[in-house]
Structure 1
Amino acid sequence: MSGNQETLVDSHLPHLSINPEKQPTILLIHGAFDTKNTWDPIHPYLSEYHFLIPTLPGHDDSSTSPVIGELTLQTTSERLYQLVTAKAHNGQTHVVGHSFGANIALHFISHYTDQILSVFVSGTAGFYPSSMTPYGLWIDGILSYAMPRRLVEYLIDVDPRLWETSSFGNFRSLELCKAISNILMIPVEDEVLIPAVAQEELKKRQVRAIAVAATKKGVLPTNDNVERAKAVAQRLGGIAAEVPTMRHAFVIQDPELFARIVAAWIEGEVLPEGMHPSVKLILSGVSSWGVLRNQRNTYSPESWWHLRQPDHLFLDGFCW
């Protein structure tokens, strides 16, 4: 750990507070079966920000706390609200969620809009409702533990140096699998996850939202669902982006690229298509309040065309 990093455990979620003297604050929300340490590869590339990085209820050191409660959408969002209120600069934060953490982020930002500065979700997940889903997650954990590490690294393009931050091979209790499944089986369109009023509230506060899908396919189903990213963008009044050369485990596949895209979004700058030619924008349900900044640092509909040349730009329900 660096000298300006603290590990805090109290009545809040166990969390890391990194660069607390910097601002603004970014809240990083990890995926299923992961911990706050999942984000270790990311924050070194974003040293100019303050980070709050909690461990979600039911996971790792949060699972042993008698005061945190069970892993549900409501409980988790309440705990995130308490953490941001107490620890974030001005009680507000940019929100970044990955995978299961993206689903948690959607509920949190929809119910506590006054705390949100911007929204970045990658790899939002979803399961069809089934009583067998928790057992599928549990078996998947056993199989990933049994598979040779080198094979898993190859199949999901994970940098071997970042393996320890991944949830692959971690023990998964059936109880936790059930709690995670209950959340992931909630459709994007469900009012429980994202109330209909959320888009208007985010618009009123000029909160920009982006849903990212890493869509590289392989032997394993390691690609995110573009249509789901579009659906999320439409629900939030934001945009969707596709990264075809990255897999679902984007955070540990290319952490520098992930960090640079996050920074560009937070700062309202043009997304880094120049640094990685496969970052593609799928504009979905966008309104004029959500545009990015152009090269003159002003806002206009034309600034979208700085994102990507027309032959690489995918329009879907684009309107002003």
Structure 2
Amino acid sequence: MDEAAPAQDGVKPHPELWYLSINENASNTIVMLHGLGTSHREWMLVWPFLTSYHLLVVDMCGHSGSSGIRPATIPAQAEHVAALIQSKAHGGTAHVVGLSMGGFVTVELARTYPQVVRSAFATGAAPFSGIRMWAANHAQVLGVMNTAMHSVLLQRLSGWLDEMAWSAQGLTIPDQLRRDLKENNSSELIVEVFTSIADVQISGMEKVPVRALVVAGGKMDDVASTTLQGAALKAGCPDSKAVVVRAAFHPWNLQLPELFAQGILAWVEQRELPEEFETLA
């Protein structure tokens, strides 16, 4: 297991994302993209079940080892991930897995750089509607609320609320990830990412030629929007699919990591998905 340093000046026209390379002797590469405010360590509970694949586990723009790389808009992040796949993935292509922000990047990557994506697996990344769209269109409000909740006066309350939420969702948060969550808490980053996600639309996804699976966590995610997203993706590639995992919360890689990994392997290897993956479209 090797931790890669950023590329030297002059090698790329832009900085290279920080990544962790695991199982380098495996033939095929899976790239793993985390959600907003976390880090590559979001995948710590999942990667032990993926030993037959070379893994590139990425710190996304504005986060941890890639904190100095901006902007963190969805299109910009897709461009950086495409460059990383071309230079570091075996054969210059990869299966791509993303959750939340990472899921939006995964779908955008499949749309704009299909030549580097062998398959796509995106969860919690359906285009926003309703209250989610309102929040994204008022991202400055989210930023102010985040700043207030993490002020000196409210830090203890914020930490207690986080712990309560994690416990209620049955999440396991490794200590290293807890530290990353604190370090990556940035109101500026929240505003930038949510504003970008607000621009993501179902329209255009019918042009994605890559075999893509979109997943909704049945406890938190937008199942209706995921269904529409899946139907659009199927128009571009008949083998694409939308499913819901009814027992899953939004960050279910930290809730049901073995099932999450089983889903990845089944999708990548074009096998039948686990029974918990209920077809939507």
| Pairwise TM-score range, normalised by the shorter structure | 0.7 to 0.9
Change (3 A) 1:137 1:97: farther
Q: Which runs of 5+ in 1 are unaligned?
A: 217-222, 285-320
Which AA in structure 2 matches 1:155?
A
Higher alpha-carbon Rg: 1
Q: Secondary structure at the match of 1:251?
A: coil
Check conservation: 1:261, 1:271, Cα contact below 8 A: yes
Match of 2:217 among 211, 214, 239: 214
Q: Which runs of 5+ in 2 are unaligned?
A: 8-14, 151-156, 235-239
Which AA in structure 2 matches 1:108?
L
What is the match of residue 279 of structure 1?
Answer: 277
Q: Secondary structure at the match of 1:52?
A: strand
What is the match of residue 96 of structure 1?
Answer: 97
In structure 1, distance between residues paired with 2:143 and 2:170: 21
Check conservation: 1:241, 1:280, Cα contact below 8 A: yes
Q: TM-score, normalised by structure 1?
A: 0.73
Change (3 A) 1:46 1:171: closer
What is the match of residue 121 of structure 1?
Answer: 122
Q: What does 1:1-320 align with in structure 2 at a 5 Å threshold? A: 4-10=1-7, 11-64=15-68, 68-124=69-125, 126=128, 127-129=132-134, 131-136=137-142, 139-140=145-146, 142=149, 145-148=158-161, 150-159=163-172, 162=174, 164-165=176-177, 172-191=185-204, 194=205, 196-198=206-208, 202=209, 207-216=210-219, 223-237=220-234, 238-273=240-275, 278-282=276-280, 284=281
In structure 1, distance between residues paired with 2:141 and 2:191: 8
In structure 1, distance between residues paired with 2:137 and 2:243: 32
| CA drift at 1:164 | 4.3
Check conservation: 1:138, 1:172, Cα contact below 8 A: no
In structure 1, distance between residues paired with 2:169 and 2:192: 25
Check conservation: 2:28, 2:90, Cα contact below 8 A: yes
Q: Secondary structure at the match of 1:71?
A: coil
Q: Kindly indicate whether structure 1 or structure 2 has the higher relative contact order, using CA contacts under 8 Å at least 6 residues apart.
A: 2
Q: Matched residue pairs, number?
A: 256
Deviations 1:140-194 (A, max 9, x none): 573783325542232222135x364367655522211111111221243244xx4
Check conservation: 2:109, 2:117, Cα contact below 8 A: no
Change (3 A) 1:47 1:186: same
Check conservation: 1:135, 1:174, Cα contact below 8 A: no
Change (3 A) 1:153 1:173: closer
Q: Secondary structure at the match of 2:102?
A: helix
Which AA in structure 1 matches 2:207?
V
Check conservation: 1:28, 1:95, Cα contact below 8 A: yes
| CA drift at 1:197 | 2.9
Change (3 A) 1:243 1:137: farther
Q: State the superposition RMSD in angstroms.
A: 2.3
Check conservation: 2:121, 2:213, Cα contact below 8 A: yes
Change (3 A) 1:146 1:186: same
Deviations 1:186-220 (A, max 9, x none): 243244xx4x532xxx1xxxx4211111112xxxx
Identify which range, 263-272 or 231-240, moves more after superposition. 231-240
Which AA in structure 2 matches 1:17?
S
What is the match of residue 309 of structure 1?
Answer: none
Q: Secondary structure at the match of 1:108?
A: helix
Change (3 A) 1:46 1:82: same
Determine what percentage of the aligned residue pairs are the same residue: 26
Check conservation: 1:20, 1:51, Cα contact below 8 A: yes
In structure 2, distance between residues paired with 1:150 and 1:179: 26
Which AA in structure 2 matches 1:231?
L
